[in-house]
Amino acid sequence: MTEYSSNGVVAYDVEDRIAWVRFNRPDKRNAMSPTLNRDMMEVLDALEFRDDVGVLVLSGEGPAWTAGMDLKEYFRETESQGLAGTRKAQRESYGWWRRLRWYQKPTIAMVNGWCFGGGYGPLFSCDLAFAAEEAKFGLSEINWGILPGGGATKVAQELLPFRKAMYHAMMGENIDGRTAAEWGLVNEALPLAQLKDRVTEVAKVLLAKNPVALKATKDAMRRVGVMSYDDAEDYLVRAQEAANSYDNEGRKEGIRQFIDEKSYKPGLGAYDK
Ligand code: ACO
């Protein structure tokens, strides 16, 4: 059964442990308004630790994945509220993208159609990305007079070879899903009619993996990019050891001895192992 966020601009279904989350402003090509950004955070919150959710897929209703930031509601209307309005809108959008980047569950962008500008934020936030060959991707900021902000420049620079990234950002030309896959912006491109089946297949593979290892793996892959080899080596040893002890009951025992047994005070010493 389809559920909706408070303002109805995000829709989602949970089926067989896959949460199918959708931008739901098809009449506005799923442009990200402040309301949509708040609703998306609400939905991410609601789904992140549900036991019946193992993978989250983000797609869009109608012909768009997302046409980027809402030029009227996100830019014009928040700017008219001064710097405080602009910063609030930025916090709300960057906030859910960041939340998605470090999401507890594996995430897949299923790019069914238009993906512009600010849409590169959530695109990059998703661990994997599959696109319709018919989808169109563009850094259209240059076409209306701003630089690709909100992380879009960073995403292009991270995912694309330098010359392609520069061309993409400066020319304001769109590329289709197939080119996006060739350039590395998404993992694969398929005809739209086959997209959901392929994403379901990938999600099922992920559902069969150890969830602690998956979370450790996806975080590690993002973290090591800016580390030296030695730092990464050290981080990975520690991350694996942390994952090994994820189900460590010790801290629960520490709480029990303080709250229930009243046998020690953590401020004054350690619990009895
Ligand atoms: N912000 C606000 N409204 C938008 C946006 C947007 N980003 N994208 C589409 N809409 C609205 C249109 O204004 C229109 O509203 P209306 O029905 O009230 O007139 C409605 O959505 C439908 O849009 P159309 O342009 O009629 O749809 P069409 O399918 O012909 O074209 C396309 C789709 C190509 C995506 C076009 O809407 C477009 O160019 N949108 C802007 C894309 C863009 O540059 N986004 C900003 C990127 S930069 C950034 O995100 C920071």
Q: What is the pLDDT of residue 67?
A: 98
Length of the chain counted residue by residue: 273
- Residues 6+ away with beta carbon under 8 Å from 261: none
- pTM value is 0.94
Residue 273 binned pLDDT confidence (cut-offs 50, 70, 90): confident
Q: What is the pLDDT of residue 23?
A: 99
Residue 69 Cβ contacting ligand 1 at under 6 Å: yes
List the one residue out of 32, 187, 194, 161 whose CA is nearest residue 106.
187
Residue 130 Cβ contacting ligand 1 at under 6 Å: no
pLDDT digits (tens, 9 = 90+) for 16-64: 999 999 999 999 999 999 999 999 999 999 999 999 999 999 999 999 9
Q: Which protein residue has the closest C-alpha to ligand 1 atom 21? A: 28
pLDDT digits (tens, 9 = 90+) for 132-153: 999 999 999 999 999 999 999 9
Residue 116 Cβ contacting ligand 1 at under 6 Å: yes
Mean pLDDT (whole number) for 170-187? 98
| Position 247 pLDDT exceeds 80 | no
* Residue 120, Cβ density class (10 Å: 0-12 exposed, 13-18 middle, ≥19 buried): buried
Q: What is the pLDDT of residue 252?
A: 84
pLDDT digits (tens, 9 = 90+) for 181-207: 999 999 999 999 999 999 999 999 999
Asked if 13 contacts 3 with a C-beta cutoff of 8 angstroms, the reply is yes
The predicted complex's ipTM stands at 0.99
Probe residue for ligand 1, chosen from 71, 90, 144 as the CB with the greatest number of ligand atoms within 8 Å: 71
* Average pLDDT over the chain, rounded to an integer: 96
Q: What is the pLDDT of residue 243?
A: 85
Q: What is the pLDDT of residue 253?
A: 87
* Angle made by CA atoms 181, 183, 186, in degrees to the nearest 5: 35
CA distances from 157 to 120, 129, 154, 189, 244 (A): 11, 17, 5, 20, 34
Asked if 130 contacts 188 with a C-beta cutoff of 8 angstroms, the reply is yes
**Rounded-to-integer distance, Cα 155 and Cα 113, Å:** 19
Residue 142 Cβ contacting ligand 1 at under 6 Å: no
The residues pairing with 13 across neighbouring beta strands, listed in sequence order, are: 20
Gap from CA of 51 to ligand 1 centroid (Å): 37
**Rounded-to-integer distance, Cα 119 and Cα 151, Å:** 10
Runs of H (alpha helix) within 49-115: 77-79, 82-101
Mean pLDDT (whole number) for 118-145? 97
